[in-house]
């Protein structure tokens, strides 16, 4: 993602589609949407089938946020079990 300058995809949610009729703005938003989809597919392909099904309709930003939440909880439980 760094090489292709697409880190913004996982750092920020996709902005809403513009209501403006400008062709240039629409093309820009479509390119942004394509980048988000490309990263989402890459993330989904690296997951287990169970996680893939769970996250297939999520944006890359939301996938990362949910995974962090899931695994932070799991790490806390594991730490507690060790003590």
Quote the tokens at residue 40. Answer: 């989402």
Contact 17, 28 (CB under 8 A): no
13 part of a folded domain: no
As for how many domains the chain has, the answer is 1
**Domain span holding position 55:** 22-82
36 part of a folded domain: yes
Cα distance between residue 16 and residue 70, in whole Å = 26
User: Tens digits of per-residue pLDDT, 42-79?
Assistant: 999 999 999 999 999 999 999 999 999 988 876 666 66
* Higher pLDDT, residue 32 or 19: 32
1 part of a folded domain: no
37 part of a folded domain: yes
Tell me how far the alpha carbon of residue 61 is from its chain's centroid.
3
User: Is the pTM value of this prediction over 0.85?
Assistant: no
């Amino acid at each position: 993602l760094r090489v292709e300058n697409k880190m913004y995809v996982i750092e920020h949610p996709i902005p809403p589609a513009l209501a403006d009729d400008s062709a240039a703005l629409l093309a820009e938003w479509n390119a942004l949407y394509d980048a988000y989809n490309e990263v989402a597919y890459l993330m989904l392909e690296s997951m287990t089938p169970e996680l893939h099904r769970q996250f297939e309709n999520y944006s890359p930003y939301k996938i990362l946020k949910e995974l962090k939440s899931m695994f932070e909880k799991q790490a806390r439980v594991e730490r507690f079990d060790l003590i």
